[in-house]
Amino acid sequence: MYHYESCGLPDIWLLNGYQTHETPYGDGISIDNIEGLHRAIAHSIINSASKMTGAELRFLRKELDLSQKRLGSMLGVEDQTVANWEKGTPTSMASRFIKVIASAQLNSKQVQQLIEELSELDRKEHEALYFEAADSQWSATEAIAA
């Protein structure tokens, strides 16, 4: 049994799927299909009924290849807020959000792309919305110059 601490999580143990070998610097470990292992760990975190830890949030963020600044932008908070969550306990909202993103990305990148587009829209100034009726149907339209 191998205590896999390199992933940043304190309680991951491998029953098999690894080899021990000697190196000039001491014993070394090689893990079979590390990407598959990390995907399995991510699925386990996503489906866990227990409260997410800061280390788990950091693991998922890194698996999603997001910086603290980028995740903060997606959540509408500062990168320092994300750093504080990773040192302690993330809010329920942050936990749910990153679980949704991680779950979607493990299956498809479309949800992350949508969230990024929505984040970009959040940064734009509010504009008036214009609608017109045609054939008993309302639809959004561009403003007509007066």
Residue 74: the pLDDT is 83
Bridge partners of 27, per DSSP, are 22
CA distances from 8 to 104, 123, 138, 140 (A): 22, 33, 52, 48
Is 101 part of a structural domain of the chain?
Answer: yes
Is 78 inside a domain boundary?
A: yes
Residue 68 lies in a domain: yes
pLDDT in tens, 64-123: 888 999 899 888 899 999 999 999 999 998 899 889 888 888 776 676 677 677 666 666
For the chain, how many residues are written? Answer: 146
Q: Is 18 helix (H, G, I), strand (E, B) or coil?
A: strand
The answer to whether the beta carbons of residues 73 and 122 sit under 8 Å apart is no
Flag whether 114 is in a domain: yes
Picking from 32-41, 95-104, 127-136, which range would have the lowest pLDDT averaged per residue? 127-136
The CATH code of the domain that includes 59 is: 1.10.260.40
Span 46-65, pLDDT tens digits:
988 889 999 999 999 999 88
Structure tokens at 98: 């990153």
Residue 100 lies in a domain: yes
pTM: 0.73
Asked whether residue 61 is assigned to any structural domain, the reply reads yes
Name the band, by pLDDT with cuts 50, 70 and 90, for residue 146: low
Task: Give the separation between CA 6 and CA 4, rounded to whole angstroms.
Answer: 6
* Confidence check: pLDDT of 126 > 60: yes
Q: Quote the domain boundaries for residue 70.
A: 50-141
Residue 116: partners with Cβ closer than 8 Å, 6 or more residues away: 74
Q: How many domains does the chain have?
A: 1
Taking each helix axis from N to C terminus, what angle separates 68-75 and 92-107, rounded to the nearest 10 degrees? 110
Tokens of 91: 């809010």
Q: Is 83 inside any structural domain?
A: yes
Residue 7 has pLDDT above 80, yes or no: yes
